[in-house]
Structure 1
Amino acid sequence: MKKAAIAWVSVGDRPALALWCAPLEGALFVVSGPGEQSAPGLADATGARVTLRGDHGGRIVTWPARVTRVTPGTEAWENAAPLVAAKRLNASGPTADLVTRWAADGCALTRLSPAGDPDAGDRLPDAALAEPPRGAPVVRVTRKPFRLHRVRRR
């Protein structure tokens, strides 16, 4: 878990989402909200299931997680938020500005801590558990390629 950068997190009966995370203090921290990734239901949840995958995409472990929202202004926020912000890739500006923006915009910093026995090794299912791709609003009909000059046919 300490090398994780992406975790598949499912809340309730919703499908799992790939979320950027930062490992810290034996838990995974996830930031979601305006200007950050979307994680519907995670900030208000009490539990979730976390799946970590290896370098080649294969599932290594799945574990139940206790979800705790870290509130701005608390000691937990002051300790965790700057460390998570420092690991945030492609962030614009200094770490302190990012932490301030998270607090001002109402972003949720959630802590996913292990809350039970993981499914690993022999406890993983033998089936692939593959699902068909979900529909997305970004799918559109493709146009014919643009051509600058007329193509003459003989």
Structure 2
Amino acid sequence: MEPTTTAAPSPDERALHDRALLEEAAKKSGLLWVLAEGQSQSRALWHAWHDGAVVVVGDGAEQPLHGLTAGATATVTVRSKDKWGRLTAWPAEVSELTPQSEGWLGAVEELKGKRLNAPDTDTIGDRWARECRVLRLAPSGPLSEQPGAMSEASHAAAPMESPVTTRRPIPAGLPKLVLKRLRSR
């Protein structure tokens, strides 16, 4: 019996596979990283998948959308839901949805379900229309990373500047003190 060989997928099949991968990854992941054009560090954003693109809401009292502007490009990296590591990345075109437009209303409905602990669940859409921007990040090219073709770079980022300090070493006598209290019980 002859071994069977499989033909390489056609470009159309590959594009369909890539599109299915990015869509499924974006739908299942609750968090993604977006590197805006001209920025040096990506930002973690919560999002929703709507009408063939990632939608995010930010600014105002919501997550900051530094560097994301309509007409710009960005790189979207999605993590695996179970392992939390990078699963796929792709270039995206950024567009801002006009408040109360049909696309905006659909995106807001999807985003409402993803927004945890909102202080104004009943009127969140009105607040977003007044104070926030709803952006659409539409895939605009082939995947730049995917299983089997990942970047070797670590992608680790330096921690953001903060006045908070790390814990100092515990005092040398503390373990003895704790053990002494435990023994006396």
Aligned to 2:151: 125
Query: What is the RMSD computed on CA atoms of the aligned residues?
Result: 2.3
Are the equivalent residues in 2 in contact too, given 1:27–1:112 (CA < 8 A)? Answer: yes
Aligned to 2:92: 65
Cα deviation, residue 13, structure 1:
3.5
Matched residue SS, 1:120: coil
Aligned to 1:4: 29
Deviations 1:55-93 (A, max 9, x none): 222211010011111111322112221231232111123
Q: TM-score, with normalisation over the residues of structure 2?
A: 0.68
Matched residue SS, 1:121: coil
Cα deviation, residue 21, structure 1:
0.7
Aligned to 1:88: 115
Deviations 1:84-106 (A, max 9, x none): 123211112334x000001112x
In 2, Cα distance between the equivalents of 1:83 and 1:56?
Answer: 25
Alignment of 1:11-22 (within 5 A): 11-14=36-39, 15-22=41-48
- Which runs of 4 or more aligned residues in structure 1 lie more than 3 Å from their structure 2 counterparts after TM superposition? 140-145
The number of residue pairs the alignment matches comes to 143
The structure number with the bigger radius of gyration is 2
| Contiguous gaps of at least 5 residues in structure 2 | 1-25, 171-176, 178-185
Matched residue SS, 1:78: helix
Are the equivalent residues in 1 in contact too, given 2:72–2:93 (CA < 8 A)? Answer: yes
Alignment of 1:82-121 (within 5 A): 82-95=109-122, 97-105=123-131, 107-118=132-143, 119-121=145-147
Aligned to 1:56: 83
Distance 1:20 1:64, change over 3 A: same
Aligned to 1:41: 67
Task: Report the structure, 1 or 2, having the larger helix content.
Answer: 2
Matched residue SS, 1:28: strand
Q: TM-score, with normalisation over the residues of structure 1?
A: 0.80
Percent identity between matched residues is 34
| Contiguous gaps of at least 5 residues in structure 1 | 146-150
